[in-house]
Amino acid sequence: MAEPIRAILIDEDPAIRAVIRDALLTMGDVSIVTETDNLVYGYEMIRQHHPDLVFVDLRDDDAGNNRGLEIIRRIGVYFKDIMVVASGQALDMNTIMTCMQAGAREYLRRPFNSDEVINLYRRHRASLGQGNQGDKSGRIISVYSNKGGLGKTTIAVNTALAISQTTNQPVALVDLNLQLGDVSTFLDIQPRQTVSDIMRNLSRVDEAYLKTSLAHYQSSNNPNNPGVYVLADPVDVEESEDITPEDISTLLAMLKATFPYVVVDMDSSIDQRSITILDQSDLIVMVSMMNLPCIRNTQRMLELCKRLGYDSHKVKLVVNRYVPSDEITLDDVEDTLEYEVFWKFPNNYFAVIASVNRGIPLPQLENGKELFSSFITFTRNLLGISGPKNAPNKNLTQMVEHSNQASAANNGDAKAPSLWGVIGQTLGKVTSKSNS
Ligand SMILES: Nc1ncnc2c1ncn2[C@@H]1O[C@H](COP(=O)(O)OP(=O)(O)OP(=O)(O)O)[C@@H](O)[C@H]1O
Ligand SMILES: [Mg+2]
């Protein structure tokens, strides 16, 4: 017989503990490790017994701090594979969102009855009790640039495909370019439900619902791979305007609870909706290109990220459509932005345009395989998956020598500023390098 699902109940109301306990015990496969009204003791029991399921009530202490929420946060950080059900008096979006962001998978409004507990348990039964098989709470990777047309969708789609290929896990690909999304075109799939459909059905949304309502892309070359689940942008532009930052936050929390990886394709705006996505992301792939307007925009965006408290572990700068050039080198870009370029995707116009126009992903196109291999190595580096070692960017020494040779060749006209100098001046970051 399968191992029982082990539950811990923390609730100050004995009557509510009895409702949860009795409901769970009727399921026949649950054992209650302990139940208590004491949060500190309850957390200690969680630490010692590492259960599969925990119920926690939200309650304020005398100073007005929500102690239940603190416990949920801790569980979310240290025991991500435990499913937490929070319960509280309120039923407002803010409370629910705060709980989900802290790591709760479900929220029950008090008082509740045994049927609600039983339904909730049945909804999650399949994902419970698989032991400590790693972090079940997914990672959100969003692809962003504050300038349009730099390759966000190309990178989001191929990164999602590369993650599913590399990890053999299902990946959600969400088109949050709410007005001009084109992820479904890239993969030539018919969206089943759009972001706004999901938003309308929030009360019914759970793992099974999400997996059946998202369009499923699976490569015919690799039918055993779980593939990519696509959530398309709203069909109607007006519908997209009704989607609030809170809606986006709820949607992402749900996707994160369902899929091990969630890749988000974004638009280029800097508004509350974008900031919400960036805030909730575990990793941000910041796309730029090797030209002055792009570098200027990227600089502004990196400064904003810094102000938002994101560090270099979270924000990965990537250069798209890279072509080696003496005019602007990667070193120049890094020096100017004072930021490491994490990856560069080569320029391969014919492969990308053939893929988009024919709706055939890069790995299935003969001339797309090389570019796609860059996505595979990028993904391994991004997720910290060990594999064949790859020099992330370039041979630094070689590049510096290269640019030095170029500037030596220019020395006949010492006053003519290099393009590097122009960028440095424009951005107010002229260094001695430009004059050397
Ligand atoms: N690595 C690449 N090599 C060559 N062409 C590329 C590459 N990446 C993207 N492109 C081309 O750049 C153009 C823009 O790409 P894409 O649609 O992915 O950008 P985007 O940032 O999503 O644009 P938008 O801001 O409009 O959503 C497309 O024509 C695409 O074919
Ligand atoms: Mg796009």
Residue 224 lies in a domain: yes
Cis before 223 (ω within 30):
no
| CATH of residue 29 | 3.40.50.2300
Higher pLDDT, 98 or 407: 98
Judgement on whether residues 277 and 307 belong to the same structural domain of the protein: yes
Judgement on whether residues 316 and 176 belong to the same structural domain of the protein: yes
Distance CA 354, CA 345 (A): 17
**Each residue of 198-237: pLDDT tens digit?**
888 776 777 778 888 899 998 877 778 889 999 988 777 7
Judgement on whether residues 284 and 304 belong to the same structural domain of the protein: yes
Residue 414 lies in a domain: no
Please determine, for residue 353, whether its predicted confidence score (pLDDT) is greater than 60: yes
> In ligand 1, which atom is closest to the CA atom of 352?
31
pLDDT of residue 270: 86
Indicate whether residue 357 lines ligand 1 (CB < 6 A): no
Distances (CA, A) of 356 to 157, 263, 322, 332, 360: 11, 18, 19, 32, 7
Indicate whether residue 345 lines ligand 1 (CB < 6 A): yes
Judgement on whether residues 145 and 81 belong to the same structural domain of the protein: no
Q: Which strands form 53-57's sheet, in the order they lie side by side?
A: 30-36, 5-10, 53-57, 83-88, 106-109
Residue located nearest, by CA, to atom 19 of ligand 1 = 151
User: How many Å lie between the centroid of ligand 2 and the Cα of residue 268?
Assistant: 9
Residue 111 lies in a domain: yes
Indicate whether residue 344 lines ligand 1 (CB < 6 A): no
pLDDT of residue 400: 29
User: How many Å lie between the centroid of ligand 1 and the Cα of residue 323?
Assistant: 15
pLDDT of residue 147: 92
Ligand number nearest CA of 154 is 1
Nearest C-alpha neighbor of 344 from the set 360, 364, 325: 325
Judgement on whether residues 268 and 381 belong to the same structural domain of the protein: yes
Judge whether 35 and 24 are in contact, CB under 8 Å.
Answer: no
**Each residue of 375-429: pLDDT tens digit?**
999 999 998 875 544 433 333 223 323 333 333 333 333 333 334 444 444 444 3
> In ligand 1, which atom is closest to the CA atom of 346?
1
- Number of structural domains the chain divides into: 2
User: How many Å lie between the centroid of ligand 1 and the Cα of residue 267?
Assistant: 12
Indicate whether residue 430 lines ligand 1 (CB < 6 A): no
Q: Which of 75-89, 148-162, 237-251, 355-369 is predicted with the least confidence, judged by mean pLDDT?
A: 237-251
Residue 404 lies in a domain: no
Ligand number nearest CA of 152 is 1
Test site for ligand 1: of 173, 289, 352, 367, most ligand atoms within 8 A of the Cβ = 352
Judge whether 421 and 430 are in contact, CB under 8 Å.
Answer: yes
Indicate whether residue 153 lines ligand 1 (CB < 6 A): yes
Residue 39 lies in a domain: yes
User: How many Å lie between the centroid of ligand 1 and the Cα of residue 136?
Assistant: 32
> In ligand 1, which atom is closest to the CA atom of 265?
22
pLDDT of residue 426: 42
Among 127, 155, 170, give the residue marking a domain's end. 127
pTM: 0.65
pLDDT of residue 201: 79
Judgement on whether residues 67 and 92 belong to the same structural domain of the protein: yes
Report residue 242's pLDDT band, with 50, 70 and 90 as the boundaries: confident
pLDDT of residue 130: 59
Indicate whether residue 268 lines ligand 1 (CB < 6 A): yes
Residue 80 CB: number of other CB atoms within 10 A? 15
Which residue pairs, CB below 8 angstroms and at least 24 apart, start in 405-409? Answer: 406/326, 407/436
Indicate whether residue 321 lines ligand 1 (CB < 6 A): yes
Q: Where are the alpha helices (DSSP H) in 81-142?
A: 93-102, 114-124
Which residue pairs, CB below 8 angstroms and at least 24 apart, start in 109-117? Answer: 110/13, 110/16, 110/57, 111/16, 112/16, 112/19, 112/87, 113/19, 114/19, 114/22, 114/23, 114/26, 115/23, 117/19, 117/20, 117/23, 117/24
Structural domain harbouring 20:
5-127
Residue 402 lies in a domain: no
Indicate whether residue 353 lines ligand 1 (CB < 6 A): yes
10 Å CB burial of residue 413 (0-12, 13-18, 19+) is exposed
Judgement on whether residues 96 and 196 belong to the same structural domain of the protein: no
pLDDT of residue 194: 84
Which three-class secondary structure state does DSSP give residue 216? strand
Distance CA 12, CA 25 (A): 20
Query: What percentage of residues in the chain have a pLDDT greater than 70?
Result: 85
Bridge partner residues of 228 (DSSP): 171, 217
pLDDT of residue 373: 94
User: What mean pLDDT, rounded, does the chain reach?
Assistant: 82
Judgement on whether residues 286 and 342 belong to the same structural domain of the protein: yes
Among 127, 160, 175, give the residue marking a domain's end. 127
Please determine, for residue 271, whether its predicted confidence score (pLDDT) is greater than 50: yes
Judgement on whether residues 94 and 240 belong to the same structural domain of the protein: no
Judgement on whether residues 179 and 117 belong to the same structural domain of the protein: no
Which three-class secondary structure state does DSSP give residue 287? strand
Please determine, for residue 77, whether its predicted confidence score (pLDDT) is greater than 70: yes
pLDDT of residue 430: 30
Higher pLDDT, 79 or 318: 318
Q: Tokens 């250069």 appear where?
A: 319
> In ligand 1, which atom is closest to the CA atom of 353?
31
Residue located nearest, by CA, to atom 12 of ligand 1 = 151
Higher pLDDT, 115 or 240: 115
Residue located nearest, by CA, to atom 4 of ligand 1 = 349
> In ligand 1, which atom is closest to the CA atom of 149?
23
Which three-class secondary structure state does DSSP give residue 228? strand
- Kindly state the DSSP code that residue 158 receives in the 8-state scheme: H
Indicate whether residue 355 lines ligand 1 (CB < 6 A): no
In the structure encoding, which two tokens stand for residue 166, read together?
């590399």
10 Å CB burial of residue 389 (0-12, 13-18, 19+) is exposed
pLDDT of residue 390: 40
User: How many Å lie between the centroid of ligand 2 and the Cα of residue 180?
Assistant: 7
In the structure encoding, which two tokens stand for residue 26, read together?
């009727």
Residue 128 CB: number of other CB atoms within 10 A? 19
Report residue 12's pLDDT band, with 50, 70 and 90 as the boundaries: very high
Distance CA 354, CA 429 (A): 40
Torsion of CA 303, 307, 311, 317, to 10 degrees: -30
Average pLDDT, stretch 280-303? Answer: 94
Residue 324 lies in a domain: yes
Report residue 298's pLDDT band, with 50, 70 and 90 as the boundaries: very high
User: How many Å lie between the centroid of ligand 2 and the Cα of residue 151?
Assistant: 7
Please determine, for residue 173, whether its predicted confidence score (pLDDT) is greater than 60: yes
Ligand number nearest CA of 356 is 1
Judge whether 121 and 23 are in contact, CB under 8 Å.
Answer: yes
* Helix or strand holding residue 73 (H, E): helix 67-78
Average pLDDT, stretch 74-90? Answer: 86
Judgement on whether residues 70 and 216 belong to the same structural domain of the protein: no
User: How many Å lie between the centroid of ligand 2 and the Cα of residue 199?
Assistant: 22
What is the rounded end-to-end Cα distance, in angstroms, of the chain? 75
Q: Which of 177-181, 281-285, 312-316, 317-321 is predicted with the least confidence, judged by mean pLDDT?
A: 177-181
Q: Which range is most confident: 186-190, 218-222, 340-344, 398-402? A: 340-344
| CATH of residue 309 | 3.40.50.300
In the structure encoding, which two tokens stand for residue 354, read together?
């053939």
pLDDT of residue 218: 86
Which three-class secondary structure state does DSSP give residue 321? strand
Report residue 5's pLDDT band, with 50, 70 and 90 as the boundaries: very high
pLDDT of residue 191: 82
Residue 37 lies in a domain: yes
Which residues, 6+ apart, have CB-to-CB distance to 143 below 8 Å? 152, 153, 155, 156, 159, 263, 264, 265, 266, 284, 285, 287
Average pLDDT, stretch 167-181? Answer: 87
Higher pLDDT, 397 or 278: 278
Q: Which of 38-52, 118-132, 151-165 is predicted with the least confidence, judged by mean pLDDT?
A: 118-132
Report residue 172's pLDDT band, with 50, 70 and 90 as the boundaries: very high
Q: Which range is most confident: 72-81, 156-165, 268-277? A: 156-165
For residue 97, give the amino acid letter: M
pLDDT of residue 228: 94
Ligand number nearest CA of 287 is 1
pLDDT of residue 142: 98
User: How many Å lie between the centroid of ligand 2 and the Cα of residue 145?
Assistant: 10
Average pLDDT, stretch 26-36? Answer: 94
Judgement on whether residues 188 and 249 belong to the same structural domain of the protein: yes
